[in-house]
């Protein structure tokens, strides 16, 4: 059976014309009990902007109906290069198909992978994905904390509209869109997946600026030039825990490991930065051994898939304005977990985010210049410092 290069059945398999590697991702979450994700869509088009971390000569899209109770019908999808806001660049609009057809019905709990689209993508050059939902979707699988504006149209299919006039409603969140892959050069080595919570998701970073720490890490890797190229994929979910689900903050990290990390196209490395919400959010987990046991399972399962995994130390949170989040007992737990991450030898390497962000004058707190103001989440400068704390020689 002959395949042309554009439709070869490859995940990260190398062949002479390149291989498929994730350039962008957002982890799916269950819909909220109210708001736009609860309402879903009906005869509307959603326009979403994504920020590629890797260049390539073609793309493919992944859509998730992970938390849908019913099959999801997607009527039409386009992709284009972003001009500004909901406007797209003339001459860049491409139709997206699934098995050669414009529309697809995605079963409840399933995902859909598009056909390859011949649209060259450059690192950092935003893409606009427009999706038309012809009928009622019901509550929507989404990613809540996008730190990126999305646009909802008036009634009808507005996927081909260049000027964005039909997109009257602005919201935060990415809906159903789970990942974008690129057909990358053979020299690109793979993708680094960052598994985390709000600190990885970019909470408190500047809206529409792509100032999350994985964005800054991708920028550092790009600056290295050829021969050591990796993509960086963000699998952070704000509020996420290692051990427990939340109706708002996603299923636990172990439950989402396969979907959000191990099936990412071209994944080669994982950076884990989770556990602070297990400590801070009720019901509090103050037994460090329980958190460590969860981390060990993540490491073991990542290793079983043939990937490397690096442990990030949990960052300071004394004085946080989130009610009931900081306790002395919780701080003791954080110190025990960090001691194990640093000295336990379980990870393939350690990234000391705690050291990068803490105030030398008061090491239980964030350095003031890195603090968003809530004493838990970094600001843009803090996220940049986190990316700079990653030793790039970990990715050879």
pLDDT score of 10: 38
Mean pLDDT, residues 249-255 taken together? 98
Lowest mean pLDDT among 16-25, 345-354, 367-376: 16-25
Same domain, 29 and 69: yes
Supply the mean pLDDT for the chain: 96
Q: How confident is the model at residue 6 (pLDDT cuts 50, 70, 90)?
A: very low
Domain boundary among 162, 180, 198: 180
In tens, the pLDDT along 91-108 reads 999 999 999 999 999 999
Among 128, 147, 180, the domain boundary falls at 180
Taking 90 as the threshold, does the pLDDT of residue 293 lie above it?
yes
Q: Is pLDDT at 9 greater than 70 in this prediction?
A: no
pLDDT in tens, 57-99: 999 999 999 999 999 999 999 999 999 999 999 999 999 999 9
Q: What is the pLDDT of residue 247?
A: 86
pLDDT at 227: 63
Q: In this predicted model, what pLDDT tens digit does every residue of 24-39 receive, in sequence order?
A: 999 999 999 999 999 9
Provide the pLDDT for residue 224: 86
Q: What is the CATH number of the domain that holds 294?
A: 3.40.50.1110
Handedness of CA 213, 216, 222, 228 (dihedral sign): negative
Q: Do the domain assignments include residue 31?
A: yes
* Residue 198 belongs to a domain: yes
**H or E stretch at 22:** strand 19-25
Secondary structure class of 292 (helix, strand, coil): helix
Residues near 81 by beta carbon (within 8 Å), at least 6 away in sequence? 88, 89, 92, 119, 125, 126, 127, 128
Residues 176 and 258 reside in one and the same domain: no
**What is residue 228's predicted lDDT score, i.e. its pLDDT?**
74
Query: What's the CATH number where 160 sits?
Result: 2.60.120
| The pLDDT of residue 5 | 41
pTM, whole model, 2 decimals?
Answer: 0.95
Give the total number of structural domains in the chain.
2
What pLDDT digit, counting tens, does each position of 257-273 carry? 999 999 999 999 999 99
1 is a domain residue: no
Same domain as 353, residue 239: yes
1: confidence class by pLDDT, cuts 50, 70, 90: very low
State whether 24 and 132 are in the same domain.
yes
> Strand 59-64 relative to strand 76-84: parallel, antiparallel, unpaired?
unpaired
Distance CA 94, CA 284 (A): 48
CB 395 within 8 A of CB 192: yes
pLDDT band at 11 (very low <50, low <70, confident <90, very high): very low
pLDDT of residue 119: 98
For residue 154, tell me if it sits in a domain.
yes
- Which residues is 151 bridged to in the sheet? 47, 170
Do 215 and 101 sit in the same domain of this protein? no
Q: What is the structure's pLDDT at 16?
A: 63
66, 93 contact by CB (below 8 A):
no
pLDDT per position as a tens digit, 299-311: 999 999 999 999 9
Task: Using the predicted structure, report yes or no on whether residue 172 has a pLDDT greater than 70.
Answer: yes
Question: Would residue 2 count as lying in a domain?
Answer: no
Predicted confidence at residue 15, as pLDDT, reads: 54
Q: Which two tokens stand for residue 120?
A: 């060259």
The token duo for 256 is: 């989402």
Cα separation, 203 vs 207, whole angstroms: 10
Task: Give the burial string for 225-239 (b: 16+ CB within 10 Å, else e).
Answer: eeeebbbbbbbbbbb
Identify whether the C-beta of residue 60 lies closer than 8 Å to the C-beta of residue 124: no
- Whether 371 is covered by a domain: the verdict is yes
* Domain of 124, in residue numbers: 19-180
Q: Which of 8-12, 253-257, 318-322 has the lowest mean pLDDT?
A: 8-12
- Tell me how far apart the alpha carbons of residues 314 and 341 are, in angstroms, rounded to a whole number: 9
């Amino acid at each position: 059976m002959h395949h042309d290069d554009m439709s070869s059945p490859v995940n990260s398999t190398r062949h002479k014309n390149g291989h498929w590697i994730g350039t962008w991702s957002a982890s799916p979450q269950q819909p909220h009990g109210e708001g736009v994700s609860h309402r879903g869509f009906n005869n509307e088009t959603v326009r979403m902007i994504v920020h590629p971390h890797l260049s390539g000569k073609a793309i493919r899209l992944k859509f998730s109906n992970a938390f849908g109770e019913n099959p999801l019908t997607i009527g039409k999808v386009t992709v284009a290069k972003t001009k500004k806001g909901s406007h797209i660049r003339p001459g860049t609009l491409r139709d997206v198909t699934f098995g050669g057809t414009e529309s697809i019905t995605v079963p409840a709990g399933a995902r859909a992978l598009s056909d390859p689209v011949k649209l060259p993508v450059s690192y950092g050059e935003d893409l606009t994905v427009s999706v038309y939902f012809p009928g009622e979707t019901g509550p929507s699988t989404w990613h809540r904390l996008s730190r990126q504006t999305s646009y909802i149209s008036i009634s009808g299919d507005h996927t081909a509209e260049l000027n964005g006039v039909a997109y009257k409603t602005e919201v935060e969140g990415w809906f159903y869109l789970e990942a974008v892959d690129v057909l990358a050069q053979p020299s690109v080595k793979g993708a680094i997946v960052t598994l985390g919570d709000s600190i990885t998701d970019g909470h408190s970073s500047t809206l529409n600026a792509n100032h999350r720490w994985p964005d800054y890490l991708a920028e550092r890797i790009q600056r290295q030039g050829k021969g050591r190229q990796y993509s960086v994929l963000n699998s952070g979910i704000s509020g996420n825990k290692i051990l427990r689900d939340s109706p708002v903050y996603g299923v636990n990290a172990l439950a989402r490991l396969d979907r959000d990390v191990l099936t990412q196209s071209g994944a080669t490395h994982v950076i884990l930065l989770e556990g602070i919400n297990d400590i801070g959010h009720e019901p509090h987990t103050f037994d460090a051994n329980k958190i460590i046991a969860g981390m060990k399972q993540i490491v073991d399962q990542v290793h079983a898939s043939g990937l490397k995994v690096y442990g990030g130390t949990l960052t300071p949170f004394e004085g946080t304005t989130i009610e009931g989040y900081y306790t002395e007992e919780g701080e003791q737990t954080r110190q025990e977990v960090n001691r194990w991450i640093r000295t336990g030898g379980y990870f393939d390497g350690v990234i000391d985010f705690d050291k990068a962000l803490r105030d030398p004058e008061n090491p239980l707190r964030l350095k003031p210049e890195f603090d968003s103001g809530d004493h838990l989440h970094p600001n843009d400068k803090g996220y940049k410092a986190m990316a700079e704390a990653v030793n790039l020689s970990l990715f050879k």
